[in-house]
A and B are shown apart, each in its own frame.
Chain A
Amino acid sequence: MKILKNILIVGFVALIAVSCEIEDATNLNGPTTDSVSEDLSRAELRQTMAGVLADMRVQLATQTDGQAVAGREYWRFQSSDPRWTADLLTGTLDDNTFYTTNPYAARYATVKDINLILEGLENSTAGFSAEEIAATRGFANTIKAHELLMVLNQQFQNGIRVDVNDPDNLGPFVSYEEGLTAVFEMLTTASADLANAGSEFPFVIPSGFDGIEGASGVPDIPEDAIVSPADFLTFTNALMARVEAYRGNYASVITLLSNSFMDMSGDLRTGAYFTFSLTGADIANPLFFALNSTVANARIAHPSFIVDAEANDNRLSKVVFREVLNDATGMVEANPLTSDNLTGTHDVFIYDSNVASVPILRNEELILLLAEANHITNPTAAVAAIDIIRTAAGLPAYSGGTTPADLVTEILNQRRYSLYAEGGHRWIDLRRFDRLSDLEPLDRGGDATFDRFPTPANENRN
């Protein structure tokens, strides 16, 4: 009897508990990725694409600094993280620390942003037109190729993964050469899409791309200052030219450059840029430090940049002599900065504020790519391109030898000064021509060069 009653009570209680349904939780703090990948709306396309462009800038400083330090463009001092002046100068790299893992992960995060858009585009019920779809695919694949190229630049012969759509089933690592090929093919597909993409993107292209507005020569319809798919195609072609140069396909470089935004008589700074602001969730330019920064955080020009420069090269203004007013004497004195047995006299100062734009790809590099593409087959054209750069830098016309070897030396030198501190070009360029030994003599006993960053430990690559 008692037991029966107990059972009744238990049953009653259990019934109450079971009968109250709880609603499945939804995420209160932001949209979830499946809402995009399962059905991309027009608003989501705008926002995810803005996200892609914003995400491209994440860890930009770590990537640029890592490569620039490797290429002895400058030293990065950070009192709270001395690995900048240890590992990156001794060449003993850690496969599980920030300089290896952070840029790598950030670039693939952008790739993931893009893959979700591409997947959502397939599943979209928002009624995108064929042109809009082509425009979106063309733009997205160009950016994706850029991000993969950034990873390849660091990983070099380690190779990279290209197929990364399914987190549970990632594609294999492909070699450096296969990686470049994959990037090239991605850009080829993108340019085909962009050619059939109508006159407008169904999303906002940020002002960092304003420099290529009108570069296609095709008048915008309607006539306004919006970067059209045709304009953007000139960027895609320019990026393809860079990839082809890396692959040594110089004939292809020349063709691509002619369809890019390259302008032999234009402003060398014209091109595509990352923009920054201090507003809300935007980020500040991470490559800006004030002059006379302390060891807490500084970018100090490698002394060789000043020593090796030709006289009157106005590109030396990219570094600024550190000086300070001595209150006691009233004299302005030199203010060199020392850390870890490295002493430098000049700050790197290519950005004048924490909202200055950072170039992605600009005219000056394209002209130098043209010089490089011609340096074997057409030395005259190569020298002509070189002289555009030299003249702009306040230097006399090129008077050296015109053998391919001579021209390579000159082109590498011009690239060193023209693209200084912009994207770690020097390290990549010396590596391409197997001339990393040019970096010697190194600064300290025990220092060494390296030609690639390790594959992050968490890739579990065995």
Chain B
Amino acid sequence: MKKQTQINKGLLLFLFFFPIILFAQETITGKVINEGTGEGIPFINIVEEGTNNGTATDIDGNFSLTVNSLPVKLKVFAIGFAEKSVSVEIAGSITIQVAESTESLEEVVITGLATSVKRSNAANAVSSVSAEDLAGLTPPQTLDGALAGKFAGALITKSSGAPGGGISVKLRGVTSINGNSQPLYIVDGVYVNNNSISGAGLNAVSGAAGGGNASNQDNPSNRIADINPDDIESVEILKGASAAAIYGARAAAGVIIITTKKGKAGQTKISFSQDAGFNTIIRPRGQRNFTEDRIFDIFFSPDPDDPVAEQNSRDAANAQVALFTDARNNGRLVDFEDEIYGEEGFITNTSVNVSGGSDNTLFYAAFSNNEEDGIVQNTGYNRKSIRFNINHDFLDKRAKLSLTSNYIDSRSNRGFFNNDNTGTTIGVALTSTLPYADLFPDANGNYPDNPFGSSNPLQTRDLITNREDVNRFIVGSALDVKLYEAEKSNLKAVIRGGVDYYQLITTAIFPEQLQFQKPSNGGLNGLSALGTTENKDANYSLFLVHNYTTDNDLNFRTQAGVTKQTFFRNTVRNITSDLIAAQSNLDQGANVSVTQFRQEQEDQGFFVQEELNYQDKIIGTLGIRGDKSSNNGDANKFFYYPKASAAVNIHSFDFWKIPVVNQFKVRAAYGEAGNFAPNGALFTAYTNSLIDGNVGIVVPATLGDPTISPEKQKELEVGFDASFLDSRIGLEFSYYNKSVDDLILQANIEPSSGFTSRFANAGNLANRGVEIAINANIIQNDNFDWNTNVLFFTNTSEITKLEVAPFNLGGFGAGLGTFRIEEGKSATQIVGTNADGDLVVLGNSEPDFQITWSNNVRYKDFTLSFLWHWKQGGDNINLTNLLTDFGGTSPDYDDVDLDPAGTTPNGPFRIGAFRAGNATPFVEDASYLRLREVGLYYNLPSKIRKQVFGNYVSNLKIGFSGNNLINVFDYNSYDPEVSNFGSNGLSTGVEVTPFPSSKRYLFHLAVDF
């Protein structure tokens, strides 16, 4: 590393604000202009290389710098521009052109609570995703979905194709079995809530929780979906405790740090962009090829013992065949899958932002409106987001105040899908609906009852409401003050606070005319449910950061701080049934029930960290975080999370003599982090019941543990970074080993205790994995650039200790495939009984490896970017086929490729396996190769632009893009990326008639004024 880059951030600011006047010998004057526009750029730093001598440009881009002697080299740099080195031979006026860049300055990564570190000095492989990578290829629907495939070490799974989120992000394997396994999101210093809150009332209709699995299975969206990806400047991902220890008790599942956009000083810039497009189902499952014989077989049951019954059955079957033949001959056979899932959902995104600033104040204001219809009628997502960010310097620029604020109004119509026990969801109803069913409404809008099931899916689609409405404010503020400053040391204080407040309203309306709501069909005569959740999370912190540099360039940076977080949630769910005609207000019905859930939590913590940096050659960090929480058995007991790391830039040492390798860093980091027990794990709380008008209290299913302590994760990460051929090629290699001790398990307990499960700290878990990233600028010249990036990553988990009996979770029992927690086995193994009735391992939801390949190709004014994602291995439990087998509608019902003997068709084979308790056919490989994102853009060249628009338009870009346009998989359903049980927890990858996922095609126009 060259010496000049060692000037640290604090010092730069110092230079920026207090130009040092030396005894003048030579004066260089000049102007820094934007290479693209020719305009002067204000506030660009200009420093004489190898010295502390520097200045900054004024509002017009002019500067003047006095140096001791000529020639000198000047380093020209500022956030948002490519750094440039200029040789000056003679005094006088010069013009320096600089180019705008997103990878400006030297990239820094935020790793501490109050500080950041240059990437070249980082001891962890911290992944970063830039604005361009996040949303530049194709506009993502949600932030977390946009991360898929863009960094190493994550398994990102979409639970539902319904627009509006529902995404699971697992960093470096499974980190918790029953606790939170989703990362902590921090947006501009505000801890942002990412709950998935089940709506009211769906389970009252679907009865999903009443059967083999106590989950509602209603797939709510997760709340990080509210953050508008367009507002994001960068995302950094701390994947495990070694990087995230300083975040302490909430960081075990990783931390995703999001920084939103800020204004740039200078002329006020207005950007407008408009996308329009549509989505369509990725892959329909298709229809069974029905014939008279096949219809007959569905309905006929031979009964040799009872000829009368057999004849009745034959007559009934023949009657169905007649209906089928008639419908077919009259062209009335309907592809109901296409009828339901065949829509092209319209997508439109509009965003406008205005940014700019003066010498000491920067602002960024943005408005966006995203609308996306689903591939099912009456489903869709709409998000309106307003952001205003402001940064202000004062007290002679020794103090910096920043304020970020965001208001979001989102609405998501999610339809009615997934598993049920009542035959009412659209997905389950379709499984038994034959193509000659008469389901369309008559002229008066009356829907016939579905003769093949308990609901008419077209009626359900058209008449029900299942909606989430969110109103949310996220406001954060930070004050950064230099308390003390001297030549070799300085001290600053950072005070931060943030609030994330939202109100989530879930509305479910099932009108009384629905087939399954009619009292004559045993229905409730209409059901209306309204759930209201108020959530307020707040965080406050105070840090002190002290810098001290010794005479031999050894820098000590000491930081210490205290943090406090409070969490408040209140969910009230109301369900009214037996509705007064066509009414949906909660008082317009006979039976009203209310449930309420409250949660309050307070966490406090402190941390201390010491960083040592010896000439950017050796960088070491030691730190410890202590946390206590009202969610622990003992609220005032501190849990400590230490960390230690070291990075050595070997290439900076004098002995390094390999010119082709211009950077070689080895690094190692160790850290610990925690994960809280799920809410309520401390208590054994009665639940309510009612009999004969008398309120009663009954024991819950789960026994609490008043002594529960947080899970503790310990992670060691080692690796190296190397750059070759002047950084044209980069290689990053990391190996990690992370263990989770005191795993909180909701383990089975002997049911004779009166409980079915209990919370306990009762096991350990380990994840080991490798992450490799290769980046290459293959071609780099004026007209043609090609940058390519390959990521390879893999993870293996193991339950290393289990103090309770092995237990199943997250499925529907051993006969259908289930996850099983067992000592010495993978945490994500899928077991089930095989054909011999033995419980065996049938699969594992963890992929063998994942590879992603992203490319950016620019030819003159055209840019082509694409991202391939290959997930190899990882199994799903697919029960959709079994349900369609029962209904006789599986597309592959008559194929013969499952039976090892090659005789029984797939449908009867799967049903037979089910009857025999053989789960083997239901566990399927969920590998895929998909073109996740592709975008082709054209930037109008400045010459043409100026001819057409004069100086009013500074940039104009048009393009096309798409998501998931090419998908290759063997998986026997809509999409291997699916989760019946939503986004949290272990058991992603179980499929029961989901909302199918879609691909998207979009057209873009972006204009900067």
Interface residues of B in 22-51 (CB under 8 A from A): none
Q: Give the contact stretch, choosing among A89-97, A228-236, A246-254, A395-403.
A: A89-97
The reply to whether the CB of A32 lies closer than 8 angstroms to some CB of chain B is yes
Residue of A whose beta carbon sits closest to that of B298: A338
Given the known inter-chain contacts A290-B522, A336-B312, please indicate yes or no for A17 contacting B699, CB distance below 8 A.
no
The reply to whether the CB of A104 lies closer than 8 angstroms to some CB of chain B is yes
Interface residues of B in 716-763 (CB under 8 A from A): 748-756, 758
Is there contact, CB below 8 Å, between B813 and A96? yes
Is there contact, CB below 8 Å, between A208 and B915? no
- Type the 1/0 row for B438-461, where 1 means its CB is closer than 8 Å to any CB of A: 000000000000000110000000
Is there contact, CB below 8 Å, between A303 and B556? no
Given the known inter-chain contacts A50-B689, A334-B312, please indicate yes or no for A458 contacting B750, CB distance below 8 A.
yes
Q: Give the contact stretch, choosing among B110-118, B580-588, B679-687, B979-987.
A: B679-687
Is there contact, CB below 8 Å, between B578 and A278? yes
User: Which residues does chain B contribute within 8 Å of A87, judged by CB atoms?
Assistant: 917
The reply to whether the CB of A112 lies closer than 8 angstroms to some CB of chain B is yes
Interface residues of A in 103-137 (CB under 8 A from B): 104-105, 108-113, 115-116
Interface residues of B in 693-712 (CB under 8 A from A): 693-699, 701, 703-704
Q: How many residues of B contact A (CB 8 A)?
A: 109
Is there contact, CB below 8 Å, between B886 and A47? no
Is there contact, CB below 8 Å, between A20 and B687? no
User: Which residues does chain B contribute within 8 Å of A29, judged by CB atoms?
Assistant: 596-598, 680, 685
Say which residue of A57, A79, A108, A164 sits within 8 Å of B691 (CB atoms). A57
Is there contact, CB below 8 Å, between A170 and B695? no
Given the known inter-chain contacts A30-B688, A82-B914, please indicate yes or no for A113 contacting B421, CB distance below 8 A.
no
The reply to whether the CB of A406 lies closer than 8 angstroms to some CB of chain B is no
B465 to chain A, nearest CB (A): 22
Is there contact, CB below 8 Å, between B692 and A207? yes
The reply to whether the CB of B808 lies closer than 8 angstroms to some CB of chain A is yes
Residue of A whose beta carbon sits closest to that of B303: A343
User: Which residues does chain A contribute within 8 Å of B689, judged by CB atoms?
Assistant: 50-51, 54-55, 281-283
User: In the complex, A109→B691 CA distance in Å?
Assistant: 16
Interface residues of B in 291-334 (CB under 8 A from A): 299, 301-303, 305-306, 309, 312-313, 316
User: Which residues does chain A contribute within 8 Å of B309, judged by CB atoms?
Assistant: 303, 343
The reply to whether the CB of A342 lies closer than 8 angstroms to some CB of chain B is yes
Is there contact, CB below 8 Å, between B685 and A27? yes
Is there contact, CB below 8 Å, between A14 and B544? no
The reply to whether the CB of A312 lies closer than 8 angstroms to some CB of chain B is no
User: Which residues does chain B contribute within 8 Å of A277, judged by CB atoms?
Assistant: 690, 692-693
Q: Give the contact stretch, choosing among B218-226, B623-631, B925-933.
A: B623-631
Is there contact, CB below 8 Å, between A458 and B454? no
Given the known inter-chain contacts A79-B423, A105-B756, A167-B754, please indicate yes or no for A13 contacting B544, CB distance below 8 A.
yes
Say which residue of A48, A92, A105, A275 sits within 8 Å of B917 (CB atoms). A92
Residue of A whose beta carbon sits closest to that of B432: A79
Given the known inter-chain contacts A29-B680, A297-B454, A343-B312, please indicate yes or no for A459 contacting B750, CB distance below 8 A.
yes
The reply to whether the CB of A456 lies closer than 8 angstroms to some CB of chain B is yes
User: Which residues does chain B contribute within 8 Å of A6, judged by CB atoms?
Assistant: 546, 558, 610
The reply to whether the CB of A405 lies closer than 8 angstroms to some CB of chain B is no
- Type the 1/0 row for A65-90, where 1 means its CB is closer than 8 Å to any CB of B: 00000000000001111110011001
Given the known inter-chain contacts A22-B635, A278-B577, A281-B690, please indicate yes or no for A113 contacting B699, CB distance below 8 A.
yes
User: Which residues does chain A contribute within 8 Å of B546, judged by CB atoms?
Assistant: 5-6, 9
Is there contact, CB below 8 Å, between A111 and B754? yes
Is there contact, CB below 8 Å, between B598 and A28? yes
User: Which residues does chain B contribute within 8 Å of A342, judged by CB atoms?
Assistant: 301
B570 to chain A, nearest CB (A): 9
User: In the complex, A244→B180 CA distance in Å?
Assistant: 52
User: Which residues does chain B contribute within 8 Å of A21, judged by CB atoms?
Assistant: 636
Q: Give the contact stretch, choosing among B346-354, B505-513, B601-609.
A: B601-609
Is there contact, CB below 8 Å, between A30 and B699? no
Residue of B whose beta carbon sits closest to that of A53: B691
User: In the complex, A57→B591 CA distance in Å?
Assistant: 20
Residue of A whose beta carbon sits closest to that of B882: A82
Is there contact, CB below 8 Å, between A81 and B212? yes
User: In the complex, A31→B682 CA distance in Å?
Assistant: 13
User: In the complex, A30→B211 CA distance in Å?
Assistant: 25
B169 to chain A, nearest CB (A): 28
Residue of B whose beta carbon sits closest to that of A169: B753
User: In the complex, A154→B688 CA distance in Å?
Assistant: 27
The reply to whether the CB of A206 lies closer than 8 angstroms to some CB of chain B is yes
Residue of A whose beta carbon sits closest to that of B212: A98
User: Which residues does chain B contribute within 8 Å of A49, judged by CB atoms?
Assistant: 696
The reply to whether the CB of A332 lies closer than 8 angstroms to some CB of chain B is no
Say which residue of B212, B522, B628 sits within 8 Å of A97 (CB atoms). B212
A334 to chain B, nearest CB (A): 7
Given the known inter-chain contacts A78-B421, A207-B692, please indicate yes or no for A115 contacting B754, CB distance below 8 A.
yes
Is there contact, CB below 8 Å, between A30 and B692? no
The reply to whether the CB of A222 lies closer than 8 angstroms to some CB of chain B is no
User: Which residues does chain A contribute within 8 Å of B883, judged by CB atoms?
Assistant: 79-80
User: In the complex, A305→B419 CA distance in Å?
Assistant: 34
Say which residue of B420, B544, B629, B755 sits within 8 Å of A80 (CB atoms). B420
Interface residues of A in 275-312 (CB under 8 A from B): 275, 277-283, 288-290, 293-297, 303
User: In the complex, A13→B545 CA distance in Å?
Assistant: 12
Given the known inter-chain contacts A22-B630, A282-B690, A294-B454, please indicate yes or no for A9 contacting B696, CB distance below 8 A.
no
B305 to chain A, nearest CB (A): 7
- Type the 1/0 row for A28-58, where 1 means its CB is closer than 8 Å to any CB of B: 1111111010000000101111111111011
The reply to whether the CB of B805 lies closer than 8 angstroms to some CB of chain A is yes
User: In the complex, A169→B266 CA distance in Å?
Assistant: 74
Residue of A whose beta carbon sits closest to that of B548: A2
User: In the complex, A334→B604 CA distance in Å?
Assistant: 70
Is there contact, CB below 8 Å, between B556 and A2? yes
User: Which residues does chain B contribute within 8 Å of A31, judged by CB atoms?
Assistant: 685-686, 697
A280 to chain B, nearest CB (A): 4
The reply to whether the CB of A225 lies closer than 8 angstroms to some CB of chain B is no
The reply to whether the CB of A434 lies closer than 8 angstroms to some CB of chain B is no
The reply to whether the CB of B101 lies closer than 8 angstroms to some CB of chain A is no
User: In the complex, A116→B596 CA distance in Å?
Assistant: 25
Is there contact, CB below 8 Å, between A50 and B815? no
Given the known inter-chain contacts A55-B698, A280-B592, please indicate yes or no for A28 contacting B691, CB distance below 8 A.
no
Is there contact, CB below 8 Å, between A10 and B684? no
Is there contact, CB below 8 Å, between A24 and B606? no
User: Which residues does chain A contribute within 8 Å of B696, judged by CB atoms?
Assistant: 47-55
The reply to whether the CB of B152 lies closer than 8 angstroms to some CB of chain A is no
The reply to whether the CB of B514 lies closer than 8 angstroms to some CB of chain A is no
User: In the complex, A346→B153 CA distance in Å?
Assistant: 58
Interface residues of A in 417-462 (CB under 8 A from B): 441, 456, 458-460
> Nearest 6 pairs between A and B by C-beta?
A112-B754, A50-B696, A51-B696, A296-B423, A206-B692, A290-B522
A sample of 16 inter-chain contacts (CB < 8 A) reads: A6-B546, A16-B606, A29-B597, A33-B684, A33-B686, A80-B428, A82-B915, A98-B813, A111-B754, A164-B754, A206-B692, A207-B692, A275-B691, A288-B522, A458-B756, A458-B807
Residues of A within 8 A of B (CB): 2, 5-6, 9-10, 13-14, 16-18, 20-25, 27-34, 36, 44, 46-55, 57-58, 78-83, 86-87, 90, 92, 94, 96-98, 101, 104-105, 108-113, 115-116, 160-161, 164, 167, 170, 204, 206-208, 275, 277-283, 288-290, 293-297, 303, 334, 336, 338, 341-343, 345, 354, 441, 456, 458-460
Supplied contacts A104-B751, A167-B758, 19 more A-B pairs, CB within 8 Å: A5-B546, A16-B562, A16-B606, A25-B630, A30-B688, A33-B685, A33-B686, A46-B694, A50-B694, A80-B420, A109-B699, A111-B754, A112-B755, A277-B693, A288-B522, A294-B453, A294-B454, A295-B432, A297-B522
Residues of B within 8 A of A (CB): 211-212, 299, 301-303, 305-306, 309, 312-313, 316, 419-423, 428, 432, 453-454, 489, 519-522, 524, 544, 546, 548, 556, 558, 560-562, 564, 577-578, 590-594, 596-606, 608, 610, 626, 628-631, 634-636, 638, 680, 682-699, 701, 703-704, 748-756, 758, 805, 807-808, 813-815, 883, 886-887, 914-915, 917
